[in-house]
Structure 1
Amino acid sequence: MKKLLHLMLLSQFVSIAEATAFGQIVSGRITDQGDGSPIPGVNIVKKGSTLGTASDVNGHYQIELDPADKNIIVFSFLGYVTQEVDVGKRTVVDVTLSADVQQLQEVVVTGLASQLQGRVAGVSVVTRGRKKQQYQPVSQESYAKIEESGFQKVTKKPLSTFSVDVDGASYSNMRRYIESGSLPPKDAVRIEEMINYFDYDYAQPEGETPFSVNYELSSSPWNKKSLLLHIGLQGRKIEMDQLPPSNIVFLIDVSGSMSDPDKLPLLKSSLRLLVQHLRPVDRVAMVVYAGSSGLVLPSTDGDRKDVILAALDKLSAGGSTAGGEGLKLAYKVAARNFIEEGNNRIVLATDGDFNVGLQSNDEMEQLIEEERKRGISISVLGFGRGNIKDDKMEIIADKGNGNYSYIDNLLEAQKVLVSEFGGTFFTIAKDVKFQLEFNPVHVAEYRLIGYENRILDDEDFDNDKKDAGEIGAGHTVTALYEIVPAGKKGTASGLKYQNSQPSEVALISNDLVTLKLRYKKPDGFRSQLVEFVVKDEPVALEATSANFRFSASVAQFGMLLRDSDKKGSATWESTYELAINARGDDPKGYRAEMIRLVETASLLDTPLDN
């Protein structure tokens, strides 16, 4: 049972309580009553508050309480009976959780090469085309339609141009679906965001270019007739104390739809994590919106954490959603406190609904683009389920030179707002574009995996007025191309009435592809060009790096979730094996978590017995 239920982020636990000299430190270990194994990722919250933490990979937790209060701790986790414990004066509280048989529906399936008996959340069984699936209703969630990119003939389209993307929202949202007992909708799966959720072990940049460029070429794990080209960028890492000062405006949705525990309460707990890491040179303001918008905290020095946290704690949900008016007010506050050569940014935290005020995407895009030109960026944090407007939130972040993240638990908040603080909020290169030119002598066809909503016209590559993606401090960006070599049977028949004439350079060289990148400095207006050549010298898959093989396993995972017709020979079992053998150094357990998600998705993708 634990293989199916222990689907949590494997990261060290985080306490969100502000330290006090006289606090009551309570710690302990949470285990499964059935087999005594530790349960990572259990939600641990002081009853009647937003104060909480989560258990680590070994089931351990620690939380600081006020000894003057009546402290009751609530322990909850999907598939287990929630427990409430009156702590009293104790400092050690160990808990065993028992399976909630009423919440779970038992299914017996054949897992990855072994018989597994598990339990999944009881949901309706519907058909998604190929076999029975288990799904929860999507409710009012909305996702932009994704038309998966097909193979392009090099003789017709020798250039491939796209904008970078470092958002990770699709991965954590996908995880939320699987942990809730269902597969995600196809359009909720953006493969490039799944790939870029993970860090990869790329070399740090040298010289003035703010990122390094890395590439590998090998056979495709899911198609023996194809090659796979792995391209990775590594943004320069900057220590926290070396980052420029921040002028941050929290724009917080406190409308009635935010009252659920995984919305405003989790939002408040998440922002507490960020507040704890602010420096005296940083400044924070807070704007809220519901039936109307208002400034609840003027711009405040980052070392006045008690003032910031007090304002955060007072927030409550109610009313409709005046998102447009809140956005305008947040930009006014950010402009009033603008820091030259600093990080001026709005952090929009919402379930995604903007149903009063600015409604159309065009109106919001125009406002956001104008403010972006003035040096104010916007990042988006999505919360909750049932009301996610994923398509609108992605537009806001893309047009605002920011990131879009989906926060499904405190450990994800820790990852986005603390561990990856620099990459999330500090841009080191903007308007970053790729353009690849394929050599027709060696390449018959190619396809870019994912990035469907980041495709650019080829002429946009040299157009410095065209907006593109950003790279943050320490961030990695990874892209994969599936390539059909020339002279081998591809996805379409050869041309009958025309034939391209390769240049002499193409005929005599061993160049597979020329890779070009354009980028601007954070405060720049003219792009700079870097260029590399990838030779037609593939290595055996076994000789590739863990970076190559793990990113390929994530791509396979995404294709299986989308039921892609490009998935070739990929199966849940082959994806599992590819990932587990490429796990590599995984100190925070993110890769191990994905391996468990693959295993669980395979169970959810198995038809139930009649």
Structure 2
Amino acid sequence: MKTFVIKWMLLCLFISANAQSDQVRIITGIVTEKSTNNPIPGALVSIKGINRGTTSDVNGKYSIDVPTGATQLVFSSVGYVTQEIAINNQQTINVALAPDTKVLSEVVVTGYATKNKRSITGSVATMAPQPRSYPQPNPSTESYKATEETGFQNVRQQPVTTFSADVDRASYSNIRRLLNNGQRPPKDAVRLEEMINYFSYQYPQPAGETPLSITTELTESPWNSGLQLLRVGLQARRVKNDKLPPSNLVFLLDVSGSMNAANKLPLVQASLNLLVDQLRPVDRVAIVVYAGAAGLVLPPTSGNQPQRIKDAINQLHAGGSTAGGAGIELAYKVAKDNWITNGNNRVILATDGDFNVGLSGEGELQRLIEQERKKGIFLSVLGFGMGNLKDDRLETLADKGNGNYAYIDNLPEARKVFINEFGGTLFTVAKDVKLQLEFNPAYVQAYRLLGYENRRLANEDFKNDQKDAGDLGAGHSVTAIYELIPAGTKSRYLPKTDSLKYQTFIDTKVSTQSGELVTLKVRYKQPADSVSQQLQHIVKTQTVPFNRVTADFRFAAAVAEFGLLLSESSYKGSAGYGQVVKLAKGALTDDSEGYRSEFVRLVKTASGLTSSGEVVDEDKE
């Protein structure tokens, strides 16, 4: 009996020891970017010395089971410096990763090749690194194009409205950067159309051979009682990456002294590395850099040599003045010399926009870009950094170059531009896209287009095929929202104008019998064509209550209302941050990437910076 007891005790000790060795505890936390405090999705969290790990979700959150005896967690993400954190007795470990500013080697520009500086002698133009203490630019040097908000237009005097499609998203990501840094964005930085179009919406794919589909919805205005909102949506055809035409890309990279900051050139390098991973063997990439001089650091290289392309990108340093004009001229020359017939011939400019040496006159630059656009070489622009961002110039260059303008404030945004929206960013399926709406005065007294101030066109430009307009890439969508004052509705926004003496007589009976609120026309060109084709869509008068329209429309309206508040619009009515949050949280469908949830957080941040004193109280939502 005594022997049995001893054996039983030893067995219990053995089981207890094994249970102790297998015991785990859960550690949670958030991985963020050090410079912006934005969450980093997809960051790898692993246990040092043990083959076990997890990744952060779209909000930067992670949870990992850590066995007894583990001492350190390792946090890593592409483009960021890896960190090792001691576990000790912590249950929550939050970590802020800094962008990786490590440089591999010094670049020497020698015509059509790059070499290590130590391997050559003589007089050679170099892109040498500047001291790490390079002074940061004064925040007051950022520049934005002045915009004047458009008021309501009287339908009996001006029934027709025309504007160019716009798929740029730069305003939203720039606003996000400013708000995350505790700064209220300047009014001119707020472009409503770019905020609304930052998000994806579920529009139907085009039918037949037409590259575009048209969707409309009509509902009540949530911030102006008695008024209506009309949403117009265009959807460009989605094309699988392996079906896209071959690309002839020239990366035009600003390596001047103003780019010597962690969120500038290092972020450019990390972003383009993501793009390189999407290339196919049929694609070609060349790299042109500019600072005190411009040079070709990588001749056209096939997409099946990604490491060679990345090596050329990663060895760049920032230093010197900004010969932006010379860089653009060289980039276009390289693109022309390597032209791909029926391909995507494009220059991708990455810069903070601080051109100050050489071909820098605004008119001269624009004329050069317009000339090359007509030859079939488009220009896309990527803005980086803060303090001296020349948003106005970058937006104009992209507009003149038939390309899109994106502002990249962190690596997740680079993933969005170059991975999630790869086709739309680089491949045009419809160019010179224009919209024209004619409102029926029997139902509408006045209308106002929200945003698009820089995209308005004269009505006679609609059928003028020589007039440039916006372009849609594969899978891109365009959303525009009009606010309407219905016929017979009293509103303080109604424009005060004299009646026209010789206006055309309108048969109200005939107008109302049609039941047509507005006629929408869309003109576009196929990428290789010079003559436009036209689509037409009739919007009927049936209004759907706001709580019954699609979640996409409700979310787009929330974004528009947020823009009205940030820009201190004269037409914001009863708009408020609390209402924006409520509307957005009720429309968080199709949010696998977390962009809509991030928007809600951003609105709450903005509410704390407002001078009105309105702060969103989460406990009361």
Structure 2 length as normaliser, TM-score?
0.80
| Offset from partner CA, 1:438-493 (integer Å, 9 cap, x none) | 11111100000000000000000000000000011011110000000011113236
Mean Cα deviation higher: 136-145 or 154-163: 136-145
How far, CA to CA, are the matches of 2:443 and 2:291 in structure 1?
58
The 1:449/1:26 distance shift into structure 2, 3 A limit, reads farther
Structure 2 match to 1:492: 494
SS in 2 for 1:422: helix
User: Could you tell me whether the CA contact under 8 Å between 1:428 and 1:471 is conserved in 2?
Assistant: yes
Structure 2 match to 1:536: 541
SS in 2 for 1:355: coil
User: Could you tell me whether the CA contact under 8 Å between 1:27 and 1:60 is conserved in 2?
Assistant: no
| Offset from partner CA, 1:92-126 (integer Å, 9 cap, x none) | x9982389xxxxxxxxxxxxxxxxxxxxxxxxxxx
Structure 1 match to 2:241: 240
- Kindly state the Cα deviation for residue 496 of structure 1 after the two structures are TM-superposed: 5.8
Structure 2 match to 1:123: none
User: Could you tell me whether the CA contact under 8 Å between 2:38 and 2:180 is conserved in 1?
Assistant: no
Structure 1 match to 2:506: 502
How far, CA to CA, are the matches of 2:77 and 2:305 in structure 1?
31
User: Could you tell me whether the CA contact under 8 Å between 1:238 and 1:422 is conserved in 2?
Assistant: yes
How far, CA to CA, are the matches of 1:303 and 1:75 in structure 2?
24
| Offset from partner CA, 1:169-221 (integer Å, 9 cap, x none) | 00000000011111111100100000000000111111111011000001111
The 1:14/1:327 distance shift into structure 2, 3 A limit, reads farther
SS in 2 for 1:338: coil
- Kindly state the Cα deviation for residue 594 of structure 1 after the two structures are TM-superposed: 0.4
- Kindly state the Cα deviation for residue 509 of structure 1 after the two structures are TM-superposed: 1.7
The 1:394/1:87 distance shift into structure 2, 3 A limit, reads same
SS in 1 for 2:207: coil
Matched, 1:13 2:42: yes
The 1:210/1:497 distance shift into structure 2, 3 A limit, reads closer
How is 1:184-203 mapped onto 2 (pairs within 5 angstroms)?
184-203=185-204
User: Could you tell me whether the CA contact under 8 Å between 2:248 and 2:346 is conserved in 1?
Assistant: yes
- Kindly state the Cα deviation for residue 139 of structure 1 after the two structures are TM-superposed: 2.2
The 1:355/1:94 distance shift into structure 2, 3 A limit, reads farther
How far, CA to CA, are the matches of 1:11 and 1:506 in structure 2?
55
Structure 2 match to 1:182: 183
Structure 1 match to 2:608: 603
User: Could you tell me whether the CA contact under 8 Å between 2:447 and 2:482 is conserved in 1?
Assistant: yes
Aligned pair partner of 2:62 in 52, 59, 64: 59
SS in 2 for 1:223: coil
How far, CA to CA, are the matches of 1:305 and 1:354 in structure 2?
30
User: Could you tell me whether the CA contact under 8 Å between 1:29 and 1:60 is conserved in 2?
Assistant: yes
How far, CA to CA, are the matches of 1:150 and 1:467 in structure 2?
25
User: Could you tell me whether the CA contact under 8 Å between 1:28 and 1:94 is conserved in 2?
Assistant: no
The 1:86/1:587 distance shift into structure 2, 3 A limit, reads closer
| Offset from partner CA, 1:32-61 (integer Å, 9 cap, x none) | xxxxxx8x78xxxxxxxxxxxxxx643379
Aligned pair partner of 1:574 in 561, 575, 579: 579
User: Could you tell me whether the CA contact under 8 Å between 1:29 and 1:94 is conserved in 2?
Assistant: no
- Kindly state the Cα deviation for residue 511 of structure 1 after the two structures are TM-superposed: 0.9
User: Could you tell me whether the CA contact under 8 Å between 2:349 and 2:382 is conserved in 1?
Assistant: yes
Structure 2 match to 1:222: 223
Structure 2 match to 1:317: 318
Give the partner amino acid of 1:586. D
* Equivalent residues, number: 526
How far, CA to CA, are the matches of 1:593 and 1:419 in structure 2?
17
The 1:26/1:162 distance shift into structure 2, 3 A limit, reads farther
Structure 1 match to 2:123: none
- Kindly state the Cα deviation for residue 498 of structure 1 after the two structures are TM-superposed: 3.9
The 1:74/1:583 distance shift into structure 2, 3 A limit, reads closer
- Kindly state the Cα deviation for residue 367 of structure 1 after the two structures are TM-superposed: 0.3
Give the partner amino acid of 1:492. L
SS in 2 for 1:430: strand
User: Could you tell me whether the CA contact under 8 Å between 1:11 and 1:588 is conserved in 2?
Assistant: no
| Offset from partner CA, 1:391-410 (integer Å, 9 cap, x none) | 10001100101010000000
Structure 1 match to 2:267: 266
Structure 2 match to 1:163: 164
- Kindly state the Cα deviation for residue 508 of structure 1 after the two structures are TM-superposed: 2.9
User: Could you tell me whether the CA contact under 8 Å between 2:425 and 2:473 is conserved in 1?
Assistant: yes
| Offset from partner CA, 1:502-554 (integer Å, 9 cap, x none) | 14642432111100000000001000011111111111111100111110000
- Kindly state the Cα deviation for residue 160 of structure 1 after the two structures are TM-superposed: 0.5
- Kindly state the Cα deviation for residue 424 of structure 1 after the two structures are TM-superposed: 0.5
Structure 2 match to 1:429: 430
- The runs of at least 4 consecutive aligned structure 1 residues that moved more than 3 Å come to 5-12, 24-30, 71-76, 82-88, 493-500, 606-609
User: Could you tell me whether the CA contact under 8 Å between 1:10 and 1:590 is conserved in 2?
Assistant: no
SS in 2 for 1:232: strand
Structure 2 match to 1:117: none
User: Could you tell me whether the CA contact under 8 Å between 2:290 and 2:324 is conserved in 1?
Assistant: yes
User: Could you tell me whether the CA contact under 8 Å between 1:273 and 1:417 is conserved in 2?
Assistant: yes
How far, CA to CA, are the matches of 1:203 and 1:525 in structure 2?
27
- Kindly state the Cα deviation for residue 138 of structure 1 after the two structures are TM-superposed: 3.4
SS in 1 for 2:227: strand
- Kindly state the Cα deviation for residue 10 of structure 1 after the two structures are TM-superposed: 6.6
User: Could you tell me whether the CA contact under 8 Å between 2:138 and 2:388 is conserved in 1?
Assistant: no
Matched, 1:559 2:564: yes
How is 1:72-91 mapped onto 2 (pairs within 5 angstroms)?
85-86=83-84
User: Could you tell me whether the CA contact under 8 Å between 1:246 and 1:342 is conserved in 2?
Assistant: yes
- Kindly state the Cα deviation for residue 575 of structure 1 after the two structures are TM-superposed: 0.7
How far, CA to CA, are the matches of 1:400 and 1:26 in structure 2?
49
How far, CA to CA, are the matches of 1:409 and 1:584 in structure 2?
24
User: Could you tell me whether the CA contact under 8 Å between 2:42 and 2:77 is conserved in 1?
Assistant: no
How far, CA to CA, are the matches of 1:140 and 1:526 in structure 2?
42
Matched, 1:451 2:456: no
Structure whose alpha-carbon radius of gyration is higher: 2
- Kindly state the Cα deviation for residue 604 of structure 1 after the two structures are TM-superposed: 1.4
How far, CA to CA, are the matches of 1:74 and 1:10 in structure 2?
13
Give ranges in structure 1 of 5+ residues lacking alignment. 16-23, 31-37, 42-55, 62-70, 77-81, 100-135
Aligned pair partner of 1:525 in 526, 530, 543: 530
User: Could you tell me whether the CA contact under 8 Å between 2:297 and 2:312 is conserved in 1?
Assistant: yes
How far, CA to CA, are the matches of 1:513 and 1:404 in structure 2?
31
The 1:476/1:497 distance shift into structure 2, 3 A limit, reads closer
Structure 1 match to 2:552: 547
Structure 1 match to 2:329: 328
Structure 2 match to 1:409: 410
SS in 1 for 2:441: coil
User: Could you tell me whether the CA contact under 8 Å between 2:43 and 2:75 is conserved in 1?
Assistant: no
- Kindly state the Cα deviation for residue 231 of structure 1 after the two structures are TM-superposed: 0.6
The 1:228/1:86 distance shift into structure 2, 3 A limit, reads closer
Structure 1 length as normaliser, TM-score?
0.81
User: Could you tell me whether the CA contact under 8 Å between 1:511 and 1:533 is conserved in 2?
Assistant: yes
How far, CA to CA, are the matches of 1:231 and 1:308 in structure 2?
41
The 1:60/1:272 distance shift into structure 2, 3 A limit, reads farther
Give the partner amino acid of 1:329. L
Aligned pair partner of 1:96 in 84, 93, 97: 93
The 1:60/1:137 distance shift into structure 2, 3 A limit, reads farther
User: Could you tell me whether the CA contact under 8 Å between 1:247 and 1:283 is conserved in 2?
Assistant: yes
Structure 1 match to 2:103: none
How is 1:252-263 mapped onto 2 (pairs within 5 angstroms)?
252-263=253-264
